[in-house]
Amino acid sequence: MRRILFAILPVVAPCGVFDLTRDFAEAAESIPSQPSVATITGEVQNPRSREITFSYESPSALENSEQRVALDSLDRFAFELPIVRGTPVRGYFEGRQPRWKWVQWLDSFFSDPNSLTLFVEPGDSLHVTVEEGFFGPSYSFSGSNADNSRFTSKWIPQSYPLRLEYKGLEVEDFKHQMEQWRRDQFEFLASGREQYALSSGCIDYVTAYVNYEWANRMMSYPMNYRFANGRENRDITPEYHDFLQEFPLVDEKAIGVAQYRWFLDRTLGWGEDHDHDDNPKLSKMYDLADLELSEETQAQLDSLYERDGRQPVLSKMVNLSAFGVAASAQAQVDSLYEKDGRWLKLSDQYDLSAFGVAASAQAQLDSLYEKSARSLNIYPLLSEEEKSPRADTTDGEVVFYIPRGVRLDSLAKEPPKLSAKIDLSDLGLSEAAQAQLDSMYEYRQPLKLSAKIDLLGLGLSEAAQAQLDSIYAKRGHWFGPTRYDLAKEKLAGRVLYWFLAGELINRFKRSSSEGFAAAQREWEEFQEINPHPEYNEAVQAVLDIALKLQPGQPAPEFTLPDLDDQPVSLSQFKGQVVLLDFWASWCVPCIDDLPYLRQVKEKTADWPVVFLNISLDADDADWREAIDKHEIKGVHVRADGWNAEVAKTYQVSGIPSYYLVDSQGLIVEDHGLRGDTEATVAAIEKSL
């Protein structure tokens, strides 16, 4: 009987015990900046394919790394694995790869019983033998630190967090279940420490996983409750979040534990979210540093913007003088516009009957919307029992609930014309003039900042005014400090640079063109302050790829099989606009996007546009079934899952992911297309 044998050769690195009560600033030990190499060998009986993929934490702990290992004629393999700390290593045959990338990859370690997860550290000499298939129940471990894998192989199947039903799950019941889960995990660990000789690195990892997974679930309970029950849970008091005091933000021993990264993502800006300023100053909304304004000038600019810039009067948006409207009458029209024309009623924006609101109650809903400062909350309905949109005013605010698969823009109404919003009869305008005014208002262009407020009194040069107009034209939106900025305020040591590097990688992979430029500026600063070369190398590697995907660059070529198993290449569509859609049958957001894509296809039906759907399905049958079930139109090809070269080339780390390629084969836009039908159609038209 053949056996599979893994051998990890010894290398050495320090490690310590994770303890939330300790002073982490003093207790954190240094972690090597360069990876050590472990060699893994093995032999497989009756392998399911000729390749095995091994997933593990990259040496920088910023992304998941993967190695494909080919079996030789005797079903053996050998490869080198770079690691710098204790980490899980998951092996699976092709066709069993995880569905999600980056932070989601580790989650699959705990949910897929058909994979084998080892726990390895620098310094290990581990042997793994699997005698009944790959992966089956008959495997054993030997060698130094083999007890780590003996323990984790038993811990992993039972450690996956509770799958809770949040419908009707109140606070105390939820807290009780989560506390019981955490208690069970630590009892399992305590029992494991008695039974096995666990290394401190393994104990650190398991402890960090349990604690931060528990904390993340606690943080997400209010949102999960709201989605499942269609309302806020009023029993959640401010004291609910006192559990955050248990967890230090800076925890160097948790670097590499995905749950720790998620914890920082969720909690760094938590206080700022609750202190959000709904009316930030202009100087907070835009980066004005290049203008080198004095504090006095900046304060004057903020004051002018507060008074005149937020909502300009009608006479500044359209030229009323062209219709013979006197200056005195223009002031009257501006007053009418301020009173009745500036804001749309809720019933003017959406078909309220689609939300179950009777015609007689729509005026009341409009009034409530006005009283609530035109605040509208929109939540997806996750319960399968909810099939139709609905409106809820139980708590004195307007809340819309949308079933999965229904897009809010499909329920929107065409906005009323200006002449329907305010009474223009006293101006003595003919019907033709009113129609012309309606058209000018509908197609008005955004005003420059200098047209909204008087910049002359600030003493700015024409060049400075033009620069300020250019900055303002980018339409920045302020949502408080970014995670990147908050990290610089709240984190320290290696955790700070590790987190900042991760943020830069995310931005380079996912940002629009404007966000990409901002990330490049932060990257320049990061290189000056970061003392850890491995983080610079990791970010630079991602940036090198991202630069090839910016608008104006040639779209990378690829060839993939279609539904008839015939090769399809991107280059064969040159002369046509191509919308690349990376998706998969199991991806709920991809399926939710189909109504949006159908609208785009309908509006561009007569244009030379190709919708090239690139599936990341590992299963051919699932791919074909989804196309038929959802009647997805366009050209269909299938890539080899997340490991496919096309997915790596286009930096697809989450789906759906879109790229627009113009008729010359150049990238026009990426990442920013999703959900906006009109913007996508306009971008396609411009690319013809």
How far apart are alpha carbons 223 and 232 in whole angstroms?
8
Q: How far is CA 643 from CA 376, 541, 589, 617, in A?
A: 41, 17, 21, 11
Give pLDDT, residue 453.
83
Give pLDDT, residue 576.
95
Give pLDDT, residue 496.
96
Is-contact 499 306, C-beta < 8 A? no
Give pLDDT, residue 172.
95
How far apart are alpha carbons 104 and 98 in whole angstroms?
8
How is residue 164 written in tokens?
Answer: 């809770």
Question: Within 13 Å of residue 626, how many CA atoms lie on the same side as its CB?
Answer: 24
Give pLDDT, residue 37.
76
Helix, strand or coil for residue 432? Answer: helix
Q: Comparing C-alpha atoms, which of 425, 349, 440 is closest to residue 391?
A: 349
Its pTM stands at 0.69
Angle between helices 146-159 and 171-195 (to 10 degrees): 160
Give pLDDT, residue 11.
34
pLDDT in tens, 294-329: 888 888 888 888 777 777 778 888 888 888 788 878
Q: Comparing C-alpha atoms, which of 230, 543, 258 is closest to residue 388?
A: 230
Share of the chain above pLDDT 70, in %: 83
* Average of per-residue pLDDT across 465-484: 69
The phi and psi torsions of 79 (rounded to 5 degrees) equal: -160, 165
Is-contact 225 380, C-beta < 8 A? no
Task: Mention every residue, 6+ apart, whose C-beta is less than 8 A from residue 463.
Answer: none
pLDDT in tens, 74-123: 878 888 888 888 888 888 765 444 444 433 434 444 444 456 778 988 87
Is-contact 6 195, C-beta < 8 A? no
Task: Mention every residue, 6+ apart, whose C-beta is less than 8 A from residue 240.
Answer: 171
